Amino acid sequence: MDADPSAGKAKARFCAQDDAFVALVDGAFADAASRSGPHLLCREGCAQCCIGVFAIGPADALRLKQGLAALQQEDPARAIRVQQRAAASWSRLVAQFPGNAACGLLHTDSAGEPAAEFADFGNDEPCPVLDPEHGRCELYASRPQTCRLFGPPVETPEGYGVCELCFHHATGAEIAEAAIVAPSAEISGALDLTAMAAGEPAGPTIVAFVLKS
């Protein structure tokens, strides 16, 4: 039971808001996947997108913790393996962590995004949630927003970001037609605020830090 009643109420609000958020994002992915046709090659066991450290926000962190807690009830042995991989990953990353290693928060720029040095950090590090034997995500239902959007083209100021394994023979028009529509910053930000009210630190962190203990 939460010592702080307000935090407990915030967690309840988070669960309700997050269910709606996940449905929104997963619906956007399903729609984009249907428009991608044969160009989208995502499948279980294809884990290239699970290599390399990426930033997650407070909502992603809380969702992962809740997913791990559920896994501890359903399959304690698998949950222990996830935590062991997270601890091992953190031990490899901590010396070069571009942030405050004590609290796990990344340094950020004026816009609140991870600072420039994060771009070259941990690019060859597998996600600790990845089961190395079967190539699948152990917390798939609780995965971060970045993971939920990856695969279809994503529009960026520089053009469309596309998985290097997909859309090899697609035309520019086909790529644009298949683009996924990400949730607005306002929606994502509101969910992060609820997660912070529930006790999550305000700022970006990484998966290994969140799940290491």
Number of domains in the chain: 1
Amino acid, single-letter form, for residue 147: C
Q: Any idea what the Cα angle at residue 198 is, between residues 17 and 201, rounded to 5°?
A: 115
pTM, two decimals, is 0.92
Task: Determine the structural domain holding residue 132 and report its residue range.
Answer: 5-211
Strand ranges, E, within the chain:
99-100, 105-106, 130-131, 136-137, 154-156, 159-161
pLDDT tens digit sequence for 5-20: 777 899 999 999 999 9
What is the DSSP secondary-structure string of 9-50?
HHHHHHHHHHHHHHHHHHHHHHHHHHHHGGG----TT--GGG
Residue with tokens 């009830």: 73
Helix (H, G, I), strand (E, B) or coil at 213: coil
pLDDT tens digit sequence for 81-105: 999 999 999 999 999 999 999 999 9
